[in-house]
Structure 1
Amino acid sequence: MTSFADSKPLSLPLPRFRSGTRGTFVLAIVIAFLALLPLGFVFWATAVTGWEAASQLIFRPRVGELMTNTLLLVLFTVPLATLLATALAWLTERSDLPFARIWSALCVAPLAIPAFVHSYAWIGMWPGFHGLPAGIAISVTAYFPFLYLPISATLRLLDPALEDQAASLGLSDTAVFRRVVLPQLRLPILGGGLLVGLHLLAEYGLYAMIRFDTFTTAIVDQFQSTYNGVAANMLALVLVLCCLVLLGFDAGLRGSRRYARIGSGVARRPRKISLGRWRYVSVLLPLAAIAFALGVPAITLSHWLIAGGAEIWRMDEIGLALSQTLVICVVGGIATTLAALPIAWLSVRRPSRKSRIIEGCYYLASSMPGVVVALALVTVTVRVALPLYQTVATIVIAYVIMFLPRALVSLRASIAQVPAELEQAAASLGRSPVNALWSTTVRLAAPGAAAAVALSSLGIMNELTATQMLAPNGTRTLAMAFWALTSEIDYAGAAPYALLMVLFSLPMTALLHHQSKKISGR
């Protein structure tokens, strides 16, 4: 007698389902072309300018100064953030550090604070803190959680048997970490470092506020002050090349080394290493990191909120900025999630070389700084589609290009949990491919879609550069209002907007921390 468990799954005819796959590929390719628009624009602008004029704009002292600033910023910030994040992750996950769970949550919390709010907080306490040292210090405190999250998650997932075997051979705890644990942290360190590096290249508000010139600040200044499109485009070309070099450098370092073991490993928690007499002294490291990353913004915001009193709470202006921010975040988040749906479905249901190439286009496009995306869309709308210039549609397209990977990651994980047989059954009953997808996979993957919308909306809420350059006249988001007031040295008036951005970002940051714990079953 054949048991139910031994029976093969029912094979259903899928002629219409396959035709739906072709349509999904076409839609995914169209979105990929849209996502690559900024990259194509940069090379088109260079070709139109001509090599002679372009070389004069590229090979000049000003570009050399910007390149030096950018290289120094990346070369100092990424290693320092990596060292800090790795030390904090090891202390909170692998040692008997007091209150480790609390420190773990606090190490992720700085993600709720926009980078330009970090800068605002620091110069609020030290007005003369400017230049490269300020840029490095603030960048490390603002961005180290991007490294802490993947490193700590990896430490929780590592098989402790490997460390036990190394220890049984007589290696000390330090040697075990250096020779066994650290090599397995290569991928999260490289991935987090790449993310931090791309943020450093794209960030505008943080460095403009401390008067530290980077390519992004120079492009925005060039665009806003003289509207010199040619000079801005050439700076954008150099910035894009820096991003591509960073992506290539990361790919080269990753290599093809295998990081997974055969078998499931040992299903137990790793051994906590005793810090001994250093147990309470070690608390000083997370305490100092949190004091700078959370304490400085909290003190500065509290100071300006108290100093401003009730007068700074102009509810009509704040309410308008809040409502416009929420509308743009929701519309942009939904649009980004819908745009990511075709390739998310293809990567799970129809994995192939084509789908991987399309997905790679999405990630490549998202590495383009917001200022480059904005320049591309400004040029395209002015030259080709003038009615779309400074409209909600244009700024939503910019958000889709910039935040596609955030939605893609969440959607792909949720779709993978939905059995493909449900879509096949719906298609065999006569439903169209779109209807079959909507009635089964989309509905069952709704929690992942909601997370995708929330993650995209979080990025949109804190986005400044593209919003400033593309938003319709009269638009005033929380980030735009905050930036306008700080530009007028009205730090007290800007405090309520900063506070609201932090408060609305905290739930999503908590969700990220919860999901990282959930992955490892803790």
Structure 2
Amino acid sequence: MRPAHIPGADDAGRTTLSVPRPAHAGRPRPGSPAPAGRRRDAARPPWALLLPAGVAALFAVLPLGYLAVRSLERGPGFAWNVVADERTVTLLGHSLGLAAAVVGACLILGVSLAWLTVRTNLPGARAWSVLATLPLAVPSYVAAFAWLSAAPRLAGFTGSALALTLVSFPYVYLPVAAALRGIDPAQEETARSLGLGPVRTFARVTLPQLRPAAAGGGLLVGLYVLSDFGAVSLMRYDTFTRAVHTSYRAGFDRTPAAALSVVLVVMTVALVAAEARTRGRAGHARTGTGTARPATPAALGRLRAPALAWCGAVTAAAVAFPLATLGYWLAIGNSATWDPTGLLDTATNTLGIATAGAALTTVLALPVGVIAARHRGRTAHLLEQASYAGHALPGITVALALVFFSVRYAYPLYQQLPLLICAYAVLFLPVAVAATRAAVLQAPPVLEDVARSLGRSPLRTLRDVTVPLAAPGVAAGAALTFVVCMKELPATLLLRPTGTDTLATRLWTETGAGSFAAAAPYAAALILLAAVPSYLLGKHRT
């Protein structure tokens, strides 16, 4: 229901005040801040924000500079020989084939589950919606461990595709479900009234409106598959990430690893471009104000039992089976196969390192997020885009860049915890920047204008006004960053100090040696620790 119209209120119902304009309103007084809209949209951000944001941006693009220098260190000819090698072509086919298979399977799972839980009278639709998001808490290497321990013959392409699909389909389900809730059902009802059946209505009316959401989710899945290291390593399936790690470990010459990483970056850029082309320029928007009328749930009829079986099968494979497998190996384990004291020490290390990584990432993301939310222009755009550079790079490439930097310019940091924490900041800076930007956008900018008009400097305004207002959203971003830092594997394997283990690295080590009973406690502890902030995030959002 639209709010009653109030004199002096705008179309959205917000009360406005009509104040006589002073004669000097068009001329800012000397020493006063620029008008709010002009200052945010055109003026350059203050130096108090530009300097730390510039440091964060340079930090994020460091791996790209490393790849450019390292891959050409022995000349373009040598790099081309590595890229054009027959094995590289094979790796290209493996990586693209795996990505295509997983993206296709995730689109089928995500779209079908979203339609069943949002647009039909599926029994227990709300519970199925929750269960469809739970696989996000399961790292890919934990899913691979569960399936490999139960069926060793799955090793290779089949096992890799299965494990990655079951942990990735929520990236498609979530945006598609949100899009389905926002689509005005009147369009579908009009199509039905014109004689189109349910299938043709879905194909010609609903599906085009879901295409941007599905394409965006498919892009996230594709990027995740290309950068994944844990699942393909445990399944012993050669992709670029595994080949880069093997090349790095094989000798002192890092040029082949850098050249392979460049190919991986090119594949990532091509995938992003393909997603933008698939999404197209067409848009679907509702005219008028207010919210869409909820769609009438479609009656499943005889399809109710198959629909329930489909939802149950996906949930069983993605959630129940990994948990049951971990429970089995925990039950048969004993003091000879796993050490509770070692588990506690490893969990403590994981919490400490992830906390430090989340803290540094949040600090670096704060000025970038504020600039992205409050300012426009080339400078703000470049800073925001530079902070997303790590999103296009797998953890192993970022780790190689930091190893190169530390050995040549900061050797005391080599194989020390600060270097690992810096890797987390590069990898997950986009997560924290996105959360900070969204939180600052929700904070009323007029309060910042009042603080500036009272003589507060930009830095004091940020500290006393902006940060407290955006604190809940920034904290949510920090919690999400903490979760992904805990689960990160390839960078941790390369950069952790000798003798320091995390739950992820210990799980990978035990599974690689075939000690499934010894690996199960670390997998269970990792899921348990990741579930706590994930639950808090979900509770905060609801």
| TM surpasses 0.5 | yes
2:396 is aligned to 371
* Structure 2 counterpart of 1:239, one-letter code: L
Q: Does 1:446 align with 2:471?
A: yes
1:287 is aligned to 312
2:176 to 119, 134, 151: 151
Q: Deviations over 1:380-412 (max 9, x none)?
A: 111122122222222222111111121122212
* Structure 2 counterpart of 1:187, one-letter code: P
CA separation in 2, counterparts of 1:414 and 1:56? 48
1:181-260 residue pairs with structure 2 within 5 A?
Answer: 181-260=206-285
CA separation in 2, counterparts of 1:23 and 1:161? 50
Q: Does 1:461 align with 2:480?
A: no
How far apart are 1:175 and its partner, in Å?
A: 1.8
CA separation in 2, counterparts of 1:424 and 1:223? 52
Q: Is the 8 A contact 2:48 2:459 kept in 1?
A: no
Q: Deviations over 1:183-210 (max 9, x none)?
A: 1111211111111111111111101111
Greater relative contact order (Cα < 8 A, sep 6+): 1
CA separation in 2, counterparts of 1:409 and 1:469? 27
1:136 to 158, 161, 164: 161
Q: Greater CA deviation, 312-321 or 87-96?
A: 312-321
Q: Deviations over 1:411-441 (max 9, x none)?
A: 1221112111222222333333222111111
1:6 is aligned to 17
* Structure 2 counterpart of 1:175, one-letter code: R
CA separation in 2, counterparts of 1:303 and 1:258? 50
1:80 is aligned to 105
Q: Is the 8 A contact 2:160 2:237 kept in 1?
A: yes
CA separation in 2, counterparts of 1:9 and 1:486? 73
Q: Is the 8 A contact 2:82 2:259 kept in 1?
A: yes
CA separation in 1, counterparts of 2:124 and 2:523? 29
CA separation in 2, counterparts of 1:127 and 1:457? 32
**For the structure 1 residues 303 and 420, does the alpha-carbon distance in structure 2 shift closer, same or farther, using more than 3 Å as the test?**
same
Q: Is the 8 A contact 2:95 2:226 kept in 1?
A: yes
How far apart are 1:230 and its partner, in Å?
A: 1.7
Q: Which one has a bigger Cα radius of gyration?
A: 2
2:460 to 406, 425, 435: 435
Q: Does 1:32 align with 2:57?
A: yes
Q: Greater CA deviation, 72-81 or 252-261?
A: 252-261
**For the structure 1 residues 9 and 139, does the alpha-carbon distance in structure 2 shift closer, same or farther, using more than 3 Å as the test?**
farther
Q: Is the 8 A contact 1:340 1:404 kept in 2?
A: yes
CA separation in 2, counterparts of 1:281 and 1:9? 67
Q: Is the 8 A contact 2:44 2:379 kept in 1?
A: no
* Structure 1 counterpart of 2:282, one-letter code: R
Q: Secondary structure at the match of 2:488?
A: coil
CA separation in 1, counterparts of 2:534 and 2:186? 32
1:109 is aligned to 134
CA separation in 2, counterparts of 1:45 and 1:222? 14
User: Could you tell me the TM-score, scaled by structure 1's length?
Assistant: 0.93
Unaligned runs of 5+ in 1: none
Aligned pairs, how many?
517
**For the structure 1 residues 58 and 8, does the alpha-carbon distance in structure 2 shift closer, same or farther, using more than 3 Å as the test?**
farther
CA separation in 1, counterparts of 2:425 and 2:476? 16
CA separation in 2, counterparts of 1:320 and 1:111? 26
| Identical columns (%) | 37
1:317 is aligned to 342
CA separation in 2, counterparts of 1:184 and 1:506? 33
2:369 to 331, 344, 367: 344
2:12 is aligned to none
How far apart are 1:33 and its partner, in Å?
A: 2.0
CA separation in 1, counterparts of 2:205 and 2:539? 27
Q: Deviations over 1:312-362 (max 9, x none)?
A: 552321121111111111111121112111121112211234322322222
Q: Is the 8 A contact 1:135 1:210 kept in 2?
A: yes
CA separation in 1, counterparts of 2:526 and 2:149? 18
1:390 is aligned to 415
**For the structure 1 residues 41 and 8, does the alpha-carbon distance in structure 2 shift closer, same or farther, using more than 3 Å as the test?**
farther
User: Could you tell me the TM-score, scaled by structure 2's length?
Assistant: 0.90
**For the structure 1 residues 288 and 428, does the alpha-carbon distance in structure 2 shift closer, same or farther, using more than 3 Å as the test?**
same
Q: Is the 8 A contact 1:95 1:274 kept in 2?
A: yes
* Structure 2 counterpart of 1:278, one-letter code: L
**For the structure 1 residues 2 and 282, does the alpha-carbon distance in structure 2 shift closer, same or farther, using more than 3 Å as the test?**
closer
Q: Is the 8 A contact 1:106 1:290 kept in 2?
A: yes
Q: Is the 8 A contact 2:91 2:238 kept in 1?
A: yes
How far apart are 1:508 and its partner, in Å?
A: 4.0
2:526 is aligned to 501
Unaligned runs of 5+ in 2: 1-6, 10-14
How far apart are 1:2 and its partner, in Å?
A: 8.7
Q: Is the 8 A contact 1:98 1:280 kept in 2?
A: no
1:403-414 residue pairs with structure 2 within 5 A?
Answer: 403-414=428-439
Q: Deviations over 1:133-184 (max 9, x none)?
A: 2222221112111111111111112222222222222222222211111111
1:276 to 301, 307, 314: 301
Q: Greater CA deviation, 461-470 or 360-369?
A: 360-369
* Structure 2 counterpart of 1:500, one-letter code: A
How far apart are 1:514 and its partner, in Å?
A: 5.7
How far apart are 1:30 and its partner, in Å?
A: 2.8
**For the structure 1 residues 463 and 383, does the alpha-carbon distance in structure 2 shift closer, same or farther, using more than 3 Å as the test?**
same
Q: Is the 8 A contact 2:45 2:380 kept in 1?
A: no
1:45-56 residue pairs with structure 2 within 5 A?
Answer: 45-56=70-81
How far apart are 1:266 and its partner, in Å?
A: 4.7
CA separation in 2, counterparts of 1:243 and 1:151? 23
1:117-136 residue pairs with structure 2 within 5 A?
Answer: 117-136=142-161
